[in-house]
Amino acid sequence: VRRVEGDADGRLDMEGLRRALDGARLFVINAASNVLGTRLDVEALAALARDAGVISLVDSAQAAGHLPFDTAASGVDLVAFTGHKGMLGPHGIGGLWVREGIGVDPLLRGGTGGNSLLPGMPDAYPDHLEAGTQNAPAMAGLLAGIEFVLDQSVERIATHARALKARLRAGLADVPGIRLRSPAAPDGAPIVTFTADTVDPNTLAARLDRQHGVLVRPGLHCAPDAHRLLGTEATGAVRMSLGWASTETDVDRAVGAIRAILADETVAASIP
Ligand SMILES: Cc1ncc(COP(=O)(O)O)c(C=O)c1O
């Protein structure tokens, strides 16, 4: 595996990328970072991969349902998504979009799809990848989530969250002792990552939850390298996420809660 470096604004080292693509078989990128909230130029990167003769795979876990993306027009070969984030589906289900002409081997094998005469799994998609009995309840839940998202429209959800993200950043920037860590990235994922000078992320998150009913995610967010870029790999950070259901009142309440916690001397200096 060759890793391509980035910077704290979510920009990739393009020279390093060109070197990494040379002779590679698969180019994997995140559509959006779950720590920086930045969005990659998936179309341009897919074109680079194509020119280098490398198959491209976009992990859209942090973007699907949050940010508009035209899969077929993007030039990407494979797009993976998870069901339980912006698609509003249940846990344990996700999807893989496969461009016509790209072959994918099954990870698991079992059953013969719709043709009992076959000795193994069919060659036709999606049956080719669907081993065993399908998780029909999760599929029904995911379908309901997708229908809701399409009904709301991803553009509308993105515009709504974008305005709230700007409001949240402005509110947090105004709280003494808060350090915004993620870049503004208005077109990116609807998240804001920050630290507090006098309260560690876990304490802040626990207080927000127990005392104010505000849920945030502290820590390294399964992405230590992204935290290294932000300089928060030792302490982690707090990430706030916005979505279709978030309101201006939610944002203002959350900012007020953080202000109150930081002003409470009993939690001051909890940074290890
Ligand atoms: C970029 C990215 N890919 C994949 C996942 C995991 O997806 P799943 O929960 O479907 O395994 C996550 C988050 O959990 C993620 O942020």
Q: How confident is the model at residue 115 (pLDDT cuts 50, 70, 90)?
A: confident
Q: Which atom of ligand 1 is nearest to the CA of 83?
A: 10
Mean residue pLDDT across the chain = 94
DSSP letter for 142, please: H
Cα-only R_g, the chain: 21
CA dist 259 → 39, 161, 173, 265 (Å): 29, 22, 11, 12
Model confidence pLDDT, tens digit, residues 46-58: 999 999 999 999 9
* pLDDT at 88 exceeding the cut of 70: yes
**In testing the pocket of ligand 1, which one of 82, 84, 220, 221 has its CB within 8 Å of the most ligand atoms?**
82
Residue 33, ligand 1, Cβ within 6 A: no
Cα(263) to ligand 1 centroid in Å equals: 35
* pLDDT at 159 exceeding the cut of 80: yes
Mean pLDDT computed over 152-163: 98
Mean pLDDT computed over 75-86: 97
Residue 60, ligand 1, Cβ within 6 A: no
Residue 61, ligand 1, Cβ within 6 A: yes
* pLDDT at 206 exceeding the cut of 70: yes
Model confidence pLDDT, tens digit, residues 58-69: 999 999 999 999
CA dist 178 → 148, 192, 251 (Å): 36, 12, 15
Residue of higher predicted confidence among 270 and 148: 148
Q: How confident is the model at residue 267 (pLDDT cuts 50, 70, 90)?
A: low
Between CA 196 and CA 199 the distance in angstroms is 6
Mean pLDDT computed over 139-161: 98
Taking the whole predicted model, whether its pTM rises above 0.95 is answered as no
Q: Given this model, what pLDDT does residue 114 score?
A: 83
Residue 34, ligand 1, Cβ within 6 A: yes
Report the percent of the chain where pLDDT is more than 90.
89
Which residue's alpha carbon is at the smallest distance from atom 5 of ligand 1?
Answer: 61
